[in-house]
Structure 1
Amino acid sequence: MCKHVLNAQVAIRAQCCRRWFDCAECHAEVSDHPLRKTDEMVFACKKCKKVFRKDMTDYEDEDEFCPHCDNHYVIDAVTPEAQLKIETEDLRKDARVVRDLRVKQETGPTSMFDVDASDMIG
């Protein structure tokens, strides 16, 4: 699971070392070499767990979907943000002050005093 991009939809195989990573920063943290650029990328969809290739020289809007399950994997990245206005070191190392958006937040009234007056039977 990537700590840089919270909503990564695919894993990418690095052409240089043939290992799987969620983002380029994950590769940089554990590798002693730079990420090699390539025109053909290999992806693994995190929804259906199938692997597919994309030619990046001829990439179009319809290529933003997994060919197996139609999962839209090119989405705006959600990165960790501090929820408290305090100074801390690198959030990737100490994430205690970060709210993880992958965890479903409860919605609705939390007590009987939070109920809207229009919800009451009159």
Structure 2
Amino acid sequence: MCKHVLNAQVAVRSPCCKKWFDCADCHQEQETHPLLQRFEMIFACKKCKKCFRKDAQEFEEADEYCPHCDNHFIIPAKTPQAAISVESEDVRVDNRMLKDDRVKTEDMRTVFDPEPNVEKLG
């Protein structure tokens, strides 16, 4: 698991040491030599577990997908946004903070109800 790239879809084979890494930062942390850069890159899709090659000089929008399973492995980065919210317990466990706006319906009455006027049918 890569701690630098969230949801990494492919592993990249480094041309210098022939090992698989999720990103260049993972290679830098684990190896003592610098990453050798080449134009031809070898990927391994994490969805279908198949390897494929891509030329980095001629990289197009269609090259963002695995040729075997069409997994989109180039995902746009998302910048975290600040948000103000009310912190509470999980509402599925404790729902006292939520107001129920639903209209309460009357239960279906039957002939066997012990309420008054039940004997009147119709």
- Per the normalisation by structure 2, the TM-score is 0.68
SS of 2:96's partner is helix
The one-letter amino acid of 2:51's match is: V
Counting only pairs closer than 5 Å after superposition, residues 57-68 of structure 1 correspond to structure 2 as 57-68=57-68
Deviations 1:50-84 (A, max 9, x none): 111001111100100011111110013469x8xxx
Distance 1:66 1:114 in 2: 46
Distance 2:35 2:56 in 1: 16
User: Which residue of the partner structure matches residue 27 of structure 2?
Assistant: 27
Q: Would you tell me which structure has more helix in proportion to its own residues?
A: 1
Deviations 1:16-64 (A, max 9, x none): 1100000101000111111011010000111111111001111100100
In the alignment, structure 2 segments of 5+ residues that lack a partner are 81-89, 105-122
Please list every run of at least 4 consecutive aligned residues from structure 1 whose deviation after the TM superposition is greater than 4 angstroms: none
- Per the normalisation by structure 1, the TM-score is 0.68
1:3 and 2:22 correspond:
no
Q: Percent identity?
A: 55
Distance 2:13 2:44 in 1: 8
Change (3 A) 1:117 1:69: same
1:113 and 2:118 correspond:
no
Cα RMSD over matched residues? Answer: 2.2
The one-letter amino acid of 1:21's match is: F
Distance 1:27 1:78 in 2: 23
Q: Which one scores higher on RCO, CA 8 angstroms, separation ≥ 6?
A: 1
Equivalent residues, number? 94
Change (3 A) 1:116 1:70: farther
Once the two structures are TM-superposed, the CA of residue 116 in structure 1 deviates from its matched residue by 5.1
SS of 1:48's partner is coil
